């Protein structure tokens, strides 16, 4: 029997490239569609180097119907891992149309083509941001998802709705080959592949904590601003559920195993179930890299919440998945990537 083919949208990006490695290593055939708007083809060359296997790369935009038509008419795709999207919260506030156009319309074109070719299994990269600002710090999947505070988060909630509606339509019509949808709500992915060959390569000044800290550690940035020191948390700084990117993508492999037995649409949190504060992350970086991390506590960042972490119990029960790596692993792997590739893939 030939290997199942998986279409990975956004496969040249940070999380997508790590997913390609794990997919190839367990024997799937991988087709990547990426417009390289936030990535470089070198990441895919590195994926092939790590795995010793070839993947098929199509440089195209998921909003390009003709390009998708070519892919679906050429390849018998088993399922789609849908990572392609724009993801910068601040940028989404400044350019909402661009975010809705790319993330929402892009998904509409993708799912329309999937429907046309009868490819009805999709695993979507959603985000804990869809929960907005609930009254609890430990998030379960049954919390409402209508509180996102920025266009990026709202685009994720909208896509979740579209995918749910597709599954519902097939249920109502008793379709013989119904949509199977898994929404994976990521917490804070960090870290890099153990080889140090692939990792996160943000454009310009990083928005997120860990890429920022690692650029301070490697000497590219002067000083970290810690956004807020007066939150009601263990040390006053923000607490988040950091998850190793390899653990995260392994969750997708488990989801692929489970998807055929899913009825309709299911959402799962992918997180460690434990939070760390900004100061705890800084202290792990200092200890593991041996570098000093220059930081200053400044005003809170608008839109930030004090603390959140996942209840990952549902993913354990239904996908048989849980994280395996701890904060030290995440920092050590980030550092291996950052220190051996100080300029990313450039």
* Residue 265 to residues 35, 168, 220, 270, Cα–Cα distance (Å): 28, 8, 44, 16
278 is a site residue for ligand WQD (CB under 6 A): yes
Residue 119 contact among ligand NAD, ligand WQD, none, beta carbon within 5 to 8 Å by kind: none
Residue 63 contact among ligand NAD, ligand WQD, none, beta carbon within 5 to 8 Å by kind: ligand NAD
What's 301's DSSP letter? P
- As a whole number of angstroms, the distance between CA 181 and CA 82 comes to 11
**Residue 250: how many other CB atoms lie within 10 Å:** 22
Residue 191 contact among ligand NAD, ligand WQD, none, beta carbon within 5 to 8 Å by kind: none
Query: Which of 64, 80, 86, 73 has the alpha carbon at shortest distance from 30?
Result: 80
Using CB under 6 A, which of the segments 16-24, 170-178, 202-210, 262-270 binds ligand WQD? 202-210
Query: What is the number of the residue whose Cβ is closest to ligand NAD?
Result: 13
Which residues, in sequence order, are bridge partners of residue 267? 183
- Candidates 188, 214, 254, 341: give the one binding ligand WQD (CB under 6 A): 188
Residue closer to ligand NAD (CB basis): 41 or 229: 41
Query: Which of 171, 74, 85, 60 has the alpha carbon at shortest distance from 119?
Result: 74
Q: Which of 28, 99, 131, 152 is catalytic?
A: 152
Residue closer to ligand NAD (CB basis): 170 or 188: 188
274 is a site residue for ligand NAD (CB under 6 A): no
Residue closer to ligand WQD (CB basis): 16 or 178: 16
CB of 129 to ligand WQD, least distance (A): 3
CB of 125 to ligand NAD, least distance (A): 3
- As a whole number of angstroms, the distance between CA 184 and CA 7 comes to 17
212 is a site residue for ligand WQD (CB under 6 A): yes
> Annotated catalytic, 152?
yes
- Candidates 28, 106, 179, 272: give the one binding ligand NAD (CB under 6 A): 106
Q: According to CB under 6 A, which residues from 175 to 204 bind ligand NAD? A: 186, 188-189
Give the HSE-up count for residue 231: Cα atoms under 13 Å, Cβ half-sphere: 26
User: Roughly how many angstroms between the first and final C-alpha of the chain, as a whole number?
Assistant: 40
- Candidates 4, 5, 37, 168: give the one binding ligand NAD (CB under 6 A): 37
DSSP, collapsed to helix, strand or coil, labels residue 122 as strand
Confirm if 57 and 40 have CB atoms less than 8 A apart.
Answer: no
Pair of tokens at residue 70: 């070519």
- Candidates 84, 217, 319, 330: give the one binding ligand NAD (CB under 6 A): 84
Q: How many of the chain's residues bind ligand WQD (CB under 6 A)?
A: 18
Q: According to CB under 6 A, which residues from 291 to 320 bind ligand WQD? A: 301, 304
Query: Which of 124, 79, 338 has the alpha carbon at shortest distance from 217?
Result: 338
Pair of tokens at residue 190: 């960090």
Confirm if 249 and 14 have CB atoms less than 8 A apart.
Answer: no
What's 259's DSSP letter? G
User: Which residue ranges make up the site for ligand NAD (CB under 6 A)?
Assistant: 10, 12-16, 33-39, 61-63, 83-87, 102, 106, 125, 127, 186, 188-189
Q: Which residues are catalytic?
A: 152
């Amino acid at each position: 029997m030939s290997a199942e083919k998986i279409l990975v949208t956004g496969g040249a990006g940070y999380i997508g490239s790590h997913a390609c490695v794990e997919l190839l290593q367990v024997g799937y055939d991988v087709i990547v569609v990426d417009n390289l708007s936030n990535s470089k083809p070198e990441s895919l060359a590195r994926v092939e180097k790590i795995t010793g296997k070839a993947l098929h790369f199509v440089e195209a935009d998921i909003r390009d119907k003709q390009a998708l038509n070519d892919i679906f008419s050429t390849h018998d795709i088993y399922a789609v891992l849908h990572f392609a999207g724009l993801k910068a919260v601040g940028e989404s506030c400044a350019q909402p149309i661009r975010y809705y156009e790319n993330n929402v319309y892009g998904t509409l074109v993708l799912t329309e083509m999937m429907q046309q070719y009868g490819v009805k299994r999709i695993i979507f990269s959603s985000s804990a941001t869809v929960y907005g600002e609930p009254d609890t710090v430990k998030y379960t999947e049954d919390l409402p998802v209508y509180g996102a505070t920025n266009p990026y988060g709202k685009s994720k909630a909208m896509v979740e709705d579209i995918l749910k509606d597709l599954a519902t339509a097939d249920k109502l019509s008793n379709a013989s080959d119904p949509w199977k949808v898994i929404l994976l709500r990521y917490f804070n992915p960090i870290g890099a592949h153990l080889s140090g060959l692939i990792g996160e390569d943000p454009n310009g000044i990083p928005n997120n904590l860990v890429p920022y800290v690692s650029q301070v550690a490697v000497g590219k940035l002067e000083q970290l601003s810690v956004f807020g020191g007066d939150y009601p948390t263990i040390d006053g700084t923000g607490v988040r559920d950091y998850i190793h990117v390899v653990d995260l993508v392994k969750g997708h492999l488990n989801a692929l195993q489970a998807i055929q037995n899913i009825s309709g649409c299911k959402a799962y949190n992918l997180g460690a179930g434990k939070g760390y504060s900004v100061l705890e992350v800084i202290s792990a970086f200092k200890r593991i890299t041996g570098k000093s991390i220059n930081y200053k506590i400044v005003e809170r960042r608008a839109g930030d919440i004090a603390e959140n972490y996942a209840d990952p119990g549902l993913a354990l029960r239904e996908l048989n998945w849980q994280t395996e790596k701890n904060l030290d692993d995440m920092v050590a792997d980030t550092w291996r990537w950052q220190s051996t590739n100080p300029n990313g893939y450039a």
